[in-house]
Structure 1
């Protein structure tokens, strides 16, 4: 039983497993949000572990009332068909750009990294898309950040991610569809990140601008500090302190070295948000 204003977050998909479970790790992210108004799913991982890990953690995905997608990459959307097999028809909240064709053009061969499925296929399985690009409330006490202004100079876009334009040309992907969720809890606002391509500092300042909140109880999810230089990491730590964050749970695209650096700084305030991690507030 979730009491009024109480929140329970459970990581269902992530790169690693943090405790003995009959579960699997995968490069991706998914988090179940349980509130007094119901259960909501943020992202679906790649699709290898969503259903299995939910069973291992005794979470009933058929009870999920709504799905929120952080952005249109395969490792956050690949589990949609499996989820829809459990839920049937359900609202899927996302940015209108999630179906853009996207590629990784870094070391090694160029590869497709966009959403693996066409919209008509997902709709045939029961997805009912609701596209949002602005800050809005998507469920009681759950706020979608919408597009986040990229203002901080240390949080630069990734040059190895490209998108395909209408004329077939490829340009750097600004990932304007990168969305996060803010959850109102008894202990204060919780910021839930998918990959934070928009930059964690930018996201926190954007939420402050939209809601007036000066502090966060917790920040959890992918911070995309993998590949970040020392100046960006230092600025991120400074911003987390500025917002008086009491619980920092990193996952997925943070990278183990940067997660270890954050753990060394924040000590008991830190947790590894791997499969099975739970945050209650």
Structure 2
């Protein structure tokens, strides 16, 4: 499996690509191509072009959750496909709540700009709470079980649901897992479900306790002392020896994580490969 970072908050030095506060990865498992999230704008398309990555040849698009920094690139992808003379009509996989309206206030809409109905005109849409296997080795986890007592305890704004509004605990937040020969490679968007919850559920779905790498955001932005302490304790107790934490993982949290695991730099242009 080969993963290339198309969008992250940071870029790799001497690799002159564009960055933005968002996530998009291009993942190849043999001849199967996956676009994981689309960032905030058309930056992922521009970076893919400079990297000689053919986004007309994508088999599946996976959306980690419905926030703007992961979905607002979708209108640009639709426009790109509409103007293209050739492209495979990809599958689009996400949680059923991903494309519902989400907001923090009347003035701050943080949900997808594209509705489920609109997406169905351009993609083969599969919205699932259950795990979905994209290949023999890559699985979309669906709705993450939330079992610990310290992660994801506060809502992020509101969401439209059943004709009304409810607090949004981002139940649509999911992740991908690659089953390598040495163990699991976990790929996250924002980890609103809790990075420890995600790892535990990945182990359950894949029946494997070995963790090779965790790539993406850990959603540790000025976390409470309890959250960062228990997260670090979990990493140490579960022998998670390497992580690539980016996007919405702040410097203080990275420093704390570095005390218990080998934390690697992540940014646009980074390529990672696993057998």
Work out whether residues 185 and 212 of structure 2, in 8 Å CA contact, stay in contact via their aligned partners in 1. yes
SS in 1 for 2:153: coil
Given that residues 37 and 140 in structure 1 are in contact (C-alpha distance below 8 angstroms), is that contact kept between their aligned partners in structure 2? no
- Look up the SS of the partner of 2:139 in the other structure: strand
State the TM-score, normalized to the length of structure 1.
0.88
1:4 corresponds to:
none
Shift in CA distance, 122/203, structure 1 to aligned 2, threshold 3 Å: same
Residue matched to 2:162: 166
Question: Residue 75 of structure 1 is aligned with which of 65, 69, 73?
Answer: 69
d(CA) in 2 for partners of 1:59, 1:199: 31
The aligned counterpart of 2:264 is: 271
Which digits, 9 at most, give the CA deviation of each residue in 1:230-262, with x for residues without a partner?
A: 221122122223332232001111123322332
Name which of 108, 111, 114 aligns with 1:114. 111
Is 1:152–2:131 an aligned residue pair? Answer: no
Residue 215 of structure 1 corresponds to: 210
In structure 2, what is the Cα distance between the partners aligned to 1:56 and 1:19?
16
**Aligned residue runs from structure 1 range 192-211, under 5 A:** 192-211=187-206
User: CA–CA distance in 2 between the matches of 1:155 and 1:50?
Assistant: 30
Partner of 1:30: 24
Q: How far, CA to CA, are the matches of 2:163 and 2:96 in structure 1?
A: 19
Count of equivalent residues: 268
Name the stretch that deviates more: 53-62 or 190-199: 53-62
> Hey, what does 1:130 align to over in structure 2?
126
CA RMSD between the two structures: 1.9
TM-score using structure 2 length:
0.90
Tell me the equivalent position of 1:226. 221
Corresponding residue of 2:251:
256
Task: Please list every run of 5 or more consecutive structure 1 residues that lacks an aligned counterpart in the other structure.
Answer: 1-6
Q: Which residue of 2 aligns with 1:99?
A: 99
Match of 2:173 in 1: 178
Please, which runs of 5 or more residues in structure 2 have no aligned partner? 82-86
Shift of 1:81: 3.1
Report whether the alignment pairs 1:141 with 2:137: yes
Aligned-residue offset at 1:121: 2.9
Name the CA distance, whole Å, in 2 between partners of 1:242 and 1:136: 29
